Amino acid sequence: MKLVILDAKTLGDDIDLGVFDIFGEVSIYETTPPELTVERCKEADIVITNKVVIDKAVMDACERLKLICVAATGMNNVDLEYAAQKGIEVKNVAGYSTASVVQHTFAMLFYLMEKLPYYDRHVKSKAWAGSGIFTCIDRPFHELRGKQWGIIGLGTIGKEVAKVAEAFGATVVYYSTSGEHDDPFYPRMELDTLLSTSHIVSIHAPLNEKTRNLLDFTRLEKLQGGAVLLNLGRGGIVNEMDLVHVMDDKELYVGLDVTEKEPLPEDSVLYEVADPERLLITPHIAWTSVEAREKLVAGIVRNIEVFLKKHTI
Quick check: is 114 catalytic? no
- H/E run at residue 149: strand 148-152
Query: Distances from the Cα of 286 to the Cαs of 55, 118, 138, 171, 174, in angstroms?
Result: 27, 23, 30, 23, 21
Reduced to 3 states (helix: H, G, I; strand: E, B; else coil), residue 42 is coil
Given the residues 143, 262, 291, 305, the one annotated as active site: 262
The answer to whether residues 232 and 286 touch, using CB atoms and an 8 Å cutoff, is yes
Given the residues 199, 234, 240, 260, the one annotated as active site: 234
Query: Tell me, what DSSP letter sits at residue 64?
Result: T
Distance CA 278, CA 281 (A): 10
Buried b (16+ CB within 10 A) or exposed e, 243-280: bbbbbeeeebbbbbbbbbeeebeeebebeebeeeebbb
CA 273 to chain centre: 22
Q: Residue type at 232?
A: L
Distance CA 141, CA 215 (A): 26
The answer to whether residues 203 and 175 touch, using CB atoms and an 8 Å cutoff, is no
Distance CA 47, CA 37 (A): 10
Distance CA 87, CA 77 (A): 17
Rg (CA), the chain: 22
Quick check: is 262 catalytic? yes
- Return the half-sphere exposure (C-beta side, CA atoms, 13 A cut-off) of residue 278: 20
What are the catalytic residues? 234, 262, 284
